Each structure stands twice: as C-alpha cells, then as structure tokens.
A and B are shown apart, each in its own frame.
Chain A
Amino acid sequence: MGVEIEVSDLNAWYGANHTLQSISLRIPANHATALIGPSGCGKSTFVRCLNRMHETNPIGRVTGTVRVGQVDIYAQSSPVEIRRRIGMVFQRPNPFPTMSIYDNVASGLRLNGYRNRKVLDEVVERSLQQAALWEEVKNDLKKKSGASLSGGQQQRLCIARALAVDPEVMLMDEPASALDPVSTAKIEDLIFQLKSQYTIVIVTHNMQQAARVAENTGFFLNGKLVEFDATHKIFTNPTDKRTEDYITGRFG
C-alpha cells in the first residue's frame, strides 16, 4: 500500500543555483499527484529529492525534511534502502540494454540478492501484468532484449521493473513525454489503475494529462511551489494569478 509523503522546507541546489526554494507540501497516500510548470521550474528536481536521487549529482545539495510514511528519508544514513521503497520512472525509457525482458523486470530483486526462481517468475509475471505488458511479451521473456521493444513498451517495461520491488511510492518524471499518443494513453490508464495501491507523483508538461490522472496538482515556477490544491480547483478556479496565467497559456 502507498504511504503519505510530507515535505517541509525543502531546498535544493545545483552548484550555486538555488533550484528549489523552501518547498512544503503534503502528498496524500494512494492518490496521484501531478506537478506542472514550465521547463526549468524545479519540478524534476523536486521528485528527485523524494528518493534522494538529487544527491547522486556531484554538485547537488539538499536541505529540509522529507517524510515518506513514518521515515524521515534524509535522516537515514544510506539512500539505498529508501530507493527500494520508492520506485522511479524516468522521462526516457531506460531498460538495461544487455538484459532480456525477464531479467530487466527481475533486476531490482536479483541485484538485491533474491535468487529463488519460483518467486522471481511470479513477481515478473505479476509486475508485467500490472504494467499491462504481459500479453505482448509473454512469449519473448528471455529471448528478446528489453531494448528491442518499442518506446511505449520500453516505458511500460520500466514501470514493471519499478513495480517488481514492491514500492510504496511511484515517482514518474514525465513518463509519457517521449511517447506517441497511443502509448501515452496506455501509460495514463496504467497510472489510473495503480493509484489505488501506490502513492503516485507524476511530473508532466501536459496539463490535460494532469487533469486526467491526478486528484491533486502542484504548480511550480522558478523553484517555488506557487500553488498546491485539488486538480479541479487548480484548473477551474486557481487562487494565484500566475497559476491562472500558466494554465490559460499566457506563458510557459
């Protein structure tokens, strides 16, 4: 099951660049939350702070607290344990190119030391079914490389790979921006189904997408969270003038 995420006074830097400035918000469990805003506004950096990926960049720095469920993730000594509980799907599909479809999905468990073949078989099938990819690949599981699939299939493979480690939270950084409309629709269907079991945070450039999949939406601008509210409120009756300007297409 998903867990709540509570962010308070989060600041992030790239070198001297203050990318996120004092962000505080509460992301409810088992819902989809969309983050919108123009390019470079910090929304990608924000999700990368939620699983401590931001600090893998040598010039990245973070202050503030992020509580995922009961755990204050920046108080933990190692980010590795945290990332197992928080799955991440990236903008460009990134299956492991030398691995088969099966190995890609099993990789999260295998690389953490699970070897039981029966369990792995079950997890791979369940994850691929959750990601709505099973029917398309079930005959090529060990024959084909993950990289041989189409872009949309690769992205669903990456979702299956993230689901296989049974996370509580799924972070999606523009998961459909490199895909065609049909694949995008499939990903959105998927998010719709998954959000009953996982807390989903999705960064998107596509405002219709945010409106379609998310209960709550946050609007980022220049490293600040301008507004965070129920999606229908943001899109129909925003409180802040800047939010209104953005969603009506006056800039960005």
Chain B
Amino acid sequence: MASNIVMPPLRARASNRLWRVFVNHLATTAAVGSTILVMAPLIAIFGYLIYKGASSLNLAFFTQIPKPVGEAGGGMANSILGSAILLAIASLMGVPIGIAGGIYIAEFGRNKRLANMVRFTADVLNGVPSIVMGIAVYTLIVVPQKHFSALAGGVALGIMMIPTITRTTEEMLLMVPLNVREAALGLGVPNWRSVLSITLRTASPGVITGCMLAFARVAGETAPLLFTAFGNQFWSTSVNEPIAALPLQIFVYAISPYDEWHRLAWGGALVLIVLIVVSVALVRYVAGRGVLKGAS
C-alpha cells in the first residue's frame, strides 16, 4: 500500500549529528546565560544592600523614631508602620476597583465601547509618571483638606495599583477556557454567579500575581508621597495626619550630609526590600494553601 513512499535514511550523516549537538549546546547555553542575566541585578542589589545596610540594623532601628540631627542612634519604626498603613489604604482601594474593572472589561463589557475606553484609560494611567499622580492627588485631596495626610498618600498609591491589576485580571479571565464557562452556564448558574464563582476563581492564581506585582511596585514609590503623605518625624497612626513612609525616610536620609544617616538609609532600603519579598511570599503561601492535588 505505502510501499512506494521513500523513507528518509534513519541515521543522519555524522556531520549533521555534530551540527545538531553543537546547536543544542548553543541554545542551552544561551538560555542558561539569559537566566543568570535576569537574576544577576536582583542578587547584586540584594547583596549590596545586605553589605551596606545590615550593620545598621539593630533593635533601636525597629523600635525608635528618628533622632534629631547631631544625636546618634534612632530608628525607622514610624516609617515601617507608616508604610504599612499607606499600603493597606492603597490595597483596600486598588485591589477591589482594579479587579472589578478587569471583570467588567473581560466579562460584561466585551466588545462594548465603554470597555475599550476603560482598557485604554488603564493603559494610559499605567504610563502616567508617579510624580504626576502625586500632584493630581495633592490637588484633589490635600488642597481641599488644607493638610497632608496618610489618606492622600494611600489614595495616590491606590490609583497607581489600579491599572496593573485591571489589565492582569482582564488577561487572566480571558485565558479561562470557554468550556469551563459553558459548564457553569449549563448547570443553570446565573451569569454573574458564574463569573464570580467559576471564572474568577479559575483565574485567581494569575489575578493574585497581578495584585502582588502592583503592591510591590507601589511599596517602593517615593514621588507620589512627596505631595501627599509628606512624611513625619514622629509617631503618627492617624490617616488624617502626615505620615512617615520608608521610601520617603530613605530619601531624606540619603540626601543628608551625615554618614550616620546614610547608613540608616541603607538599612531602610534593606528593610523595605525584605518586607516586600516577605509579604509577596506570604500572600502566595496563603493563596496556595487552598490549591488541591492535581489542580492546574
């Protein structure tokens, strides 16, 4: 039947084989090399921060507030707490609005004009320089209130989180296969319920990653806080008062002329990075605990 089909020789010529082995090694080397290049900056930054900052970390660093110029010691306890408060406000605002926006674009507004406008707006918002965001919130909240506040800082960071979360939520929802959606609809589940309980749940690992990316990004933002949270040398937990923040305090210390303050700035930078890594890992762990054996 198929006797007239000429099969290619099973064993390739030796020169061909050498060439294939060479190309294989070349590709592997390129991939490994790129991996190292990707990881190198992070490892370098982390190593340098530990080298420069670890020595200034002590109990006082985590329990005391900054000392006035000329006095030795002091810490960044108020900045760490301030950053936590700012990020909590930002997440409370950015995560629900961002996810809801993504759901609208992907599920309810598909091919509608408003959805395209929301997507376009999110992309533009993503490109707005962070200092501009600070000035905008300054105009919207600080000026009418006539004072700087943690609330204004949190809102500025929250707005910055929205576009990243919206776009990743949209993309992750669109990746949920049609047959999973149809399974839910075929059971007689109302569309809104199917979107929330099935589609969003199926996409949740990706959505959580998007939220963590946005969180990590704004955690280190300084510029939007200059005109909003302003910074504070004292203890303050009120959302209506100016509040300290790690990036702001690092900035203040780093541009100062004192060696002691420079060392504190290095310590602060190290703490900031560790806190971001720890919170991202924590969320991943908590979110991953519910995942079952064999779930994709």
Contact surface of B with A, Cβ cutoff 8 Å = 110-111, 177, 179-180, 182-191, 193-194, 197-198, 201-202, 204, 291-296
Contact of A147 with B187 at beta-carbon distance under 8 Å, contacts A94-B182, A96-B198, A98-B201 already known? no
Taking chain A's interface residues, is the majority helix, strand, or loop, or is none over half, making it mixed? mixed
Contact of A94 with B183 at beta-carbon distance under 8 Å, contacts A145-B293, A147-B294 already known? yes
- Would you mind naming 27 contact pairs between A and B with Cβ atoms under 8 Å apart? A53-B182, A56-B182, A58-B110, A58-B111, A81-B188, A83-B186, A85-B188, A90-B179, A94-B182, A96-B180, A97-B180, A97-B296, A98-B291, A98-B295, A108-B188, A111-B189, A111-B197, A143-B293, A144-B292, A145-B292, A145-B293, A147-B294, A147-B296, A148-B292, A148-B293, A161-B183, A161-B187
The reply on A51 being an interface residue by CB < 8 A is yes
Distance (Å) between the CB of B124 and the closest chain A CB? 28
The reply on A205 being an interface residue by CB < 8 A is no
Given A94-B183, A98-B202, 19 other A-B residues pairs in contact with their CB atoms under 8 A = A53-B186, A80-B191, A83-B185, A87-B187, A90-B183, A96-B180, A96-B198, A107-B184, A107-B187, A108-B188, A111-B184, A111-B187, A143-B293, A145-B293, A145-B295, A147-B295, A148-B295, A158-B183, A162-B187
Contact of A98 with B294 at beta-carbon distance under 8 Å, contacts A82-B188, A92-B179, A161-B187 already known? no
Would A83 and B187 count as touching, CB distance under 8 A?
yes
Smallest CB-CB separation from B186: which chain A residue? A88
Distance (Å) between the CB of B184 and the closest chain A CB? 7
The reply on A100 being an interface residue by CB < 8 A is yes
Most chain A CB neighbours (cut-off 10 Å) among B110, B187, B191, B291: B187
Smallest CB-CB separation from B293: which chain A residue? A144
Would B294 and A96 count as touching, CB distance under 8 A?
no
Q: Cβ of A165: which chain B residues have Cβ within 8 Å of it?
A: 187-188
A223–B295 Cα gap in the complex (Å)?
39
A161–B187 Cα gap in the complex (Å)?
8
Indicate which residue in A56, A92, A111, A161 contacts B193 across the interface (CB closer than 8 Å): A111
A84–B190 Cα gap in the complex (Å)?
10
A165–B185 Cα gap in the complex (Å)?
13
A33–B110 Cα gap in the complex (Å)?
37
Which of the four size classes fits the interface of chain A? 35 or more
Most chain A CB neighbours (cut-off 10 Å) among B184, B188, B193: B188
The reply on A112 being an interface residue by CB < 8 A is yes
Would A96 and B186 count as touching, CB distance under 8 A?
no
A217–B201 Cα gap in the complex (Å)?
40
A88–B291 Cα gap in the complex (Å)?
27
Contacting B at CB under 8 A, from A83-137, are: 83-85, 87-88, 90, 92, 94-100, 107-108, 111-112
Contact of A94 with B188 at beta-carbon distance under 8 Å, contacts A111-B193, A148-B293 already known? no
Q: Cβ of A95: which chain B residues have Cβ within 8 Å of it?
A: 183
Smallest CB-CB separation from B179: which chain A residue? A94
Q: Cβ of A145: which chain B residues have Cβ within 8 Å of it?
A: 292-296
A95–B202 Cα gap in the complex (Å)?
11
Would B188 and A96 count as touching, CB distance under 8 A?
no
A53–B186 Cα gap in the complex (Å)?
7
Would A98 and B204 count as touching, CB distance under 8 A?
yes
A95–B177 Cα gap in the complex (Å)?
11
Distance (Å) between the CB of A96 and the closest chain B CB? 6
Contacting B at CB under 8 A, from A13-37, are: none
Distance (Å) between the CB of A163 and the closest chain B CB? 11
Would B186 and A51 count as touching, CB distance under 8 A?
yes
Would A96 and B202 count as touching, CB distance under 8 A?
yes
A143–B273 Cα gap in the complex (Å)?
36
Q: Cβ of B295: which chain A residues have Cβ within 8 Å of it?
A: 97-98, 145, 147-148
Distance (Å) between the CB of A92 and the closest chain B CB? 6
Q: Cβ of A87: which chain B residues have Cβ within 8 Å of it?
A: 186-187
Q: Cβ of B189: which chain A residues have Cβ within 8 Å of it?
A: 80, 107-108, 111-112
Distance (Å) between the CB of A12 and the closest chain B CB? 17
Q: Cβ of A84: which chain B residues have Cβ within 8 Å of it?
A: 187-188
Q: Cβ of B183: which chain A residues have Cβ within 8 Å of it?
A: 90, 94-96, 158, 161
Smallest CB-CB separation from B198: which chain A residue? A96
Distance (Å) between the CB of B278 and the closest chain A CB? 26
A165–B187 Cα gap in the complex (Å)?
8
Q: Cβ of B191: which chain A residues have Cβ within 8 Å of it?
A: 80
A58–B294 Cα gap in the complex (Å)?
33
Q: Cβ of B188: which chain A residues have Cβ within 8 Å of it?
A: 80-85, 108, 112, 165
Smallest CB-CB separation from B190: which chain A residue? A80
Most chain A CB neighbours (cut-off 10 Å) among B189, B193, B296: B189
Smallest CB-CB separation from A85: which chain B residue? B188
Smallest CB-CB separation from B197: which chain A residue? A111
Distance (Å) between the CB of A236 and the closest chain B CB? 32
A81–B188 Cα gap in the complex (Å)?
6
Would A111 and B180 count as touching, CB distance under 8 A?
no
Distance (Å) between the CB of A144 and the closest chain B CB? 5
A60–B188 Cα gap in the complex (Å)?
19
Distance (Å) between the CB of A183 and the closest chain B CB? 18
Q: Cβ of A51: which chain B residues have Cβ within 8 Å of it?
A: 186
